[in-house]
Amino acid sequence: MPEQRARDYHRGRVVNTFAEEITAMLEGELSDPRIAPCHVTEVVLAPGGKSCRVFIAVTGNEKDEADTLAGLMTARGYIRTEIRDRMGVRHVPEITFAIDRSEKINARMDELLGRMEKRRAKQAKKKAAAALPESKE
């Protein structure tokens, strides 16, 4: 049975609010030195609303990602309490953080596709040069 439109709308609002509030906390309220500059890319709320997964994009290397993830997992209780106070709700889902590497993967794919295009253009240029008859003097 499909969900009602009102329920979908409510879930969307909850997800947007979670993303906004967690982003605000990441920008200045969390003082853990392990947390590198990062931003929320996506929030996925479980169908029952008991848990959610927050995807974070970290600017830095893999060590920064690991340290940031550890710092955020440590601060989960504080984040849930702040969200509960700000949203004025009784229950806040259990929060899990995950690193979102999609931006890095997309950049790598773009780089590889660019290389392929250059290689194809170079091969086409060689074929065109080979197809032209050589001029005799």
Instruction: Report domain extents, the chain.
Output: 5-99, 102-130
Class for the domain spanning 5-99: alpha beta
Q: What is the pLDDT of residues 22-56, one digit of tens each?
A: 999 988 888 888 888 889 999 999 988 899 999 99
The b-or-e profile of 3-42 (16+ CB within 10 A means b, else e) is eeeeeeeeeeebbeebbebbeebbeeebeeeebbebebbe
Both tokens assigned to 113: 């596709």
- The CA radius of gyration of the chain, in Å to the nearest whole number, is 24
Phi and psi at 18, nearest 5°, equal -60, -45
Average pLDDT, integer, range 2-9: 79
CA 21 and chain centroid, separation: 16
pTM (global) more than 0.85: no
